Amino acid sequence: MAHVETAPKLYGLMAEFETPEQLLEAARRTRDAGYRKFDCYTPFPIHGLTAAMGVKEAKVPWTVFTMGLLGAIGAFSLQVWTSLVDYPLNVAGRDLLSWPYFIPITFEGMVLAAAFGAFFGTHIYNRMLTYYHPVFNVPQFARASTDRFFVCIESKDPKFNRDEAYRFLQSLNPISIAEVPE
């Protein structure tokens, strides 16, 4: 039986740039060209990159707010239930529902839940628990954590055509263009 060799499936095409300004321009032009499934990789945060990419509003702040609100409601409710239902204790003739005394624990519950929301929201929305990503198959990508900037157009993009995407990336004047196998 003959062994048939097949080419690896293509994840996308990646262009390498030398400066943050080149990357910003490349991201803007990629978005303007109609590509929606692309990502940029940088060694440090670049102001304005998310706007240049056309990224929608971040979900993490809303997650932190929601979790903080739920934490405050939960902590306050727990104290109310404990004071009124589970273990009512009359101290010096005070009301059983002494809500001013509940404020510190309510605040701490809010902060704790918001911190968990920030931690898990960041990891979930940014896919930080992904142990493998196809861009690591490109040898030049090792410099993404030191001094190079990359744009990768994914083959899942509805507009993606290998030859057209390659020509488009060439028009951005990158240092190099590489195929990203899956």
- Residue 5: per-residue pLDDT: 62
- Residue 119: per-residue pLDDT: 95
Helix (H, G, I), strand (E, B) or coil at 45: coil
Is 32 part of a structural domain of the chain? Answer: yes
Is 34 part of a structural domain of the chain? Answer: yes
- CA 3-136-56 angle, to 5 degrees, is 120
The C-alpha atoms of residue 168 and residue 173 are separated, in whole angstroms, by: 10
Is 4 part of a structural domain of the chain? Answer: no
Kindly tell me the sign of the dihedral angle through the C-alpha atoms of 126, 128, 130, 132.
positive
Total tally of structural domains belonging to the chain:
2
- Residue 2: per-residue pLDDT: 60
Do 93 and 175 have their domain in common? no
92, 125, 158 - which closes a domain: 125
Q: Which domain holds residue 99?
A: 60-125
The C-alpha atoms of residue 119 and residue 124 are separated, in whole angstroms, by: 9
Do 108 and 121 have their domain in common? yes
- HSE (side-chain half, CA atoms, 13 Å) at 125: 16
Does this model's pTM top 0.75?
no
Is 2 part of a structural domain of the chain? Answer: no
Do 137 and 47 have their domain in common? yes
Is 94 part of a structural domain of the chain? Answer: yes
Do 116 and 72 have their domain in common? yes
- Sheet strands (E) in 104-169: 149-154
The C-alpha atoms of residue 118 and residue 65 are separated, in whole angstroms, by: 9
Do 14 and 45 have their domain in common? yes
Is 27 part of a structural domain of the chain? Answer: yes
110, 125, 140 - which closes a domain: 125
Do 119 and 134 have their domain in common? no
pLDDT along the chain (182 residues), means of 10: 68 95 95 93 92 87 96 96 88 82 95 97 85 90 92 94 94 94 88
